[in-house]
Every structure is written in C-alpha cells, then in structure tokens.
C-alpha cells in the first residue's frame, strides 16, 4: 500500500493540475474528464496524423504526452459456470515536461491504478497511486513490465503478450495468464483516433480485442479457477477532449460470430455526439466505423450513487447489420475513485449475442 506521504503528495499535485485544464466553473464537471481536456498551452507533445505506430516500441510509455493508460478487461467463467468480470488499469499523468536528467522524486509523472472484480452479487474495487521515478510504479520494455506496488503485468518479451497479470488487495486477488490469439487493431486512421468532428483533438489508440484468459481469482477467501475472453486497450494523448465536451460512453463487445466491436460516443454541450468505433476479426480484418455508421440510443436511465446514468442502450451499426440491446450486468458499478466513473460488464442480445464492458464518464 502507498504511504500517507505519497498519498498526501498526490492530492497536493492533483489540486495543482486541475485548475490548469480550463474547466467552466459555471457548469458541474467531473474530474475524470477535466484533467483530459484541451490545454491552453503547447507544453506537451501533440498527437499528429501520420505518425506510424510501431511495435514493440509503442507498447512502452510515452512520457512527453500528458496522459496515457494501459487498460484490461475480461469476462470470465468459473468451473461451475459462475460469471466473474475483471478490470485492471494503469494510468500515467504528467505534471510537467519530462526532463532527460530528472530522476527520483523530480520525475514529473504520477501513476494511478484501478483494480475491480465484479460478480452478479458484489463488486470488489481498489485504487492506488505513486509518484514516478522512485521505483514504486512504472513501465519497462526489456523484459516488458507495467506495475504499481505489487500489482503488475509482465512478460518475458518486449510486449505484453503472452503475459501474466497479478494483483491483490484486501479481499480480492487475481493471477491471470493472458494470450493474444488475434491481431493488434489500430483504431481510427492507422492508430490516429479523432475525438472531435472539427477540432484537432485525437489520441494514439490501439487494441488487442482477442485475448484468451485462464488463471485464478480469490474473493473473500474463496478461490476460483477461471477462463474466458479479454480486451486490452492502449491510448495516449495530450488533449483527449475539447473544453465543451462532457465525457464519453464506450463499449467493447465480443460478438457470438467471433468478431469484436468497439463503439464510443463523446458527448458535447449543445452539439451532437462524436461517434467512432471499429469491428474486427482475429485474422486481421478491420472495419473502421464513424458517425454515418453508428447510432447509440439510451433506453433506461438509472440512479446510481446520486448519478443518473444510462445503463440500457440500443446500439445500431447499419453498415454492419448490427441491431443490439445492451444491458448492464450489475447496476451498482459507480466507481468512486479520485476520477469517478461507471464501469462494468454488459450482456448483449439482438441480431447478435455477446458480452463485454461499458464505461460511462462525465456524469
């Protein structure tokens, strides 16, 4: 666990960061989105069209950009058929420009990690923080390792696959072997993922939607052997949202025909949402999806922890012949972290059946 000094340092630094992101004080806002909004300065490296993603190089960290994350979700099943969902995310947030000679506490990077395990009956969740440069958190490439405290994803190669994810906190722990059985998907235009229709706001974004998972999970001192499917996202940017954008609704779905569907809308005040997504297959086929393809319609809003969030959706992708109904497996998935959001497993029915994850931010 992180010490009280590190926790105090994080909060002080966070208070220094948030006033710089250009929030509109007349409107209620979410810390989740405010720290990712477009800055008035050119302090950090911009995302530009034409950058060619390369591996294993881009499995590594990108400290000259303001923010990035390593994001993993999995829909798993025990030997007895019990459904267990897992989310593990490592975030990096820059507090200033990275200096080549900076070491230790002078490194201008903060790391944050979230671990969440969900069943039909209960959610287990934990959050940790660390300053970069002191060995408590970071990313290494030879061999590959991302970690914060005793939470880690590591492999013997220079990339995350095949890899081992391990984390433990209070009444939950996981040890999962992760194998990639499909291709890497470059989201958007060769990894350049636009987030706004007119403003030059984008991220570098790639996914590994075809992961085979097996391992063990312990919940309240009961151990389960689990297998299932996982999804891995990598994204980095210096401005993920415009100042008028309010948050996003994001879906990752494994469909019953073996394909993977990613759909997202970025909501904006007094404007239509900006849509983007993809449908991909293990053999490398990818269809990029945009505003003309996607229709997302909230069906039912539910009050969760004082937030009115849409937990049932209709999702239409006309160009792919997909007409889906999306429903949250468990409603009480509001994660009251420093950057709060709703995240949890979903089930899908309609023209296709499937399962996956949904993330709702900015509410």
DSSP-based three-state secondary structure for 222: strand
State the Cα–Cα distance between residues 261 and 238, nearest whole angstrom. 26
Residue 16 has pLDDT above 50, yes or no: no
| Residue 33: predicted pLDDT | 52
Query: 360 with 349: CB under 8 angstroms?
Result: no
Residue 18 has pLDDT above 50, yes or no: no
| Domain 4-360 -> CATH class | mainly beta
Please name the residues in contact with 122: beta carbons below 8 A apart, sequence gap of 6 or more.
219
Residue 240 has pLDDT above 80, yes or no: no
Residue 14 has pLDDT above 50, yes or no: no
Residue 57 has pLDDT above 70, yes or no: yes
Domain range list for the chain: 4-360
Q: Which pLDDT band, with edges at 50, 70 and 90, does 41 fall under?
A: low
**Residue 136, φ and ψ in degrees, nearest 5:** -80, -25
Q: Which two tokens stand for residue 214?
A: 């097996």
- Indicate the pTM of the whole model: 0.89
**pLDDT tens sequence across 276-301:** 999 999 999 999 999 999 999 999 99
**pLDDT tens sequence across 113-169:** 999 999 999 999 999 999 988 999 999 999 999 999 999 999 999 999 999 999 999
Residue 30 has pLDDT above 90, yes or no: no
DSSP 284: S
| Residue 13: predicted pLDDT | 44
Calculate what percentage of the chain has a pLDDT beyond 90.
Answer: 78
Q: Which residues pair with 185 in a beta bridge?
A: 207
Lowest mean pLDDT among 123-127, 207-211, 238-242, 291-295: 238-242
Query: 151 with 167: CB under 8 angstroms?
Result: yes
| Residue 97: predicted pLDDT | 74
Alpha helices by DSSP H, listed for the chain, are: 4-17, 31-34
Dihedral sign for Cα atoms in the order 216, 219, 222, 226: negative
Higher-pLDDT residue of 107, 157: 157
**pLDDT tens sequence across 296-354:** 999 999 999 999 999 999 999 999 999 999 999 999 999 999 999 999 999 999 999 99
Please name the residues in contact with 285: beta carbons below 8 A apart, sequence gap of 6 or more.
none
Q: Quick one: which of 341, 330, 358 has its CA closest to 265?
A: 358
| Residue 43: predicted pLDDT | 82
Higher-pLDDT residue of 247, 348: 348
| Residue 199: predicted pLDDT | 83
């Amino acid at each position: 666990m992180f010490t009280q000094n590190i926790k105090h340092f994080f909060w002080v630094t966070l208070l220094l960061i948030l006033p710089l992101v250009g929030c509109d004080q007349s409107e209620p806002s979410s810390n989740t989105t405010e720290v990712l909004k477009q800055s008035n300065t050119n302090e950090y490296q911009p995302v530009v069209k034409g950058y060619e993603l390369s591996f294993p190089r881009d499995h590594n960290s990108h400290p000259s950009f303001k923010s990035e994350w390593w994001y993993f979700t999995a829909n798993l099943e025990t030997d007895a058929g019990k459904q267990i969902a897992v989310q593990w995310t490592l975030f990096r947030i820059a507090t200033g420009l990275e200096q080549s000679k900076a070491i230790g506490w002078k490194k201008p990077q903060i790391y944050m990690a979230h671990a969440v395990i969900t069943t039909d009956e209960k959610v287990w969740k934990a959050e940790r923080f660390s300053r970069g440069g002191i060995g408590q958190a970071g990313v290494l490439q030879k061999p590959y390792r991302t970690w914060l405290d005793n939470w880690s994803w590591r492999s013997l190669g220079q990339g995350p696959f095949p890899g081992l994810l391990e984390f433990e906190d209070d009444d939950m722990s996981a040890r999962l072997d992760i194998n990639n059985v499909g291709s890497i998907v470059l989201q958007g235009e060769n990894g350049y993922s636009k987030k706004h229709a007119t403003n030059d706001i984008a991220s570098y974004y790639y996914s590994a939607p075809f992961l085979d998972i097996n391992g063990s999970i312990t919940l309240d001192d009961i151990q389960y052997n689990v297998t299932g499917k996982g999804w891995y996202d990598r994204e980095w940017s210096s401005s993920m949202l415009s100042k008028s954008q309010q948050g996003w609704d994001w879906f990752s779905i494994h469909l019953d025909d073996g394909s993977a569907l990613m759909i997202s809308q970025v909501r904006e005040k007094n404007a239509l949402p900006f849509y983007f997504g993809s449908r991909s297959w293990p053999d490398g086929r990818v269809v990029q999806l945009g505003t003309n393809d996607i229709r997302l319609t909230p069906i039912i809003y539910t009050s969760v922890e004082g937030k009115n969030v849409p937990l049932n959706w209709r999702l239409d992708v006309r160009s792919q012949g997909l007409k889906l109904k999306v429903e949250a497996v468990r409603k009480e998935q509001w994660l009251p972290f420093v950057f709060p959001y709703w995240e949890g497993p979903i089930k899908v029915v309609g023209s296709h059946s499937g399962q996956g994850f949904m993330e709702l931010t900015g509410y």
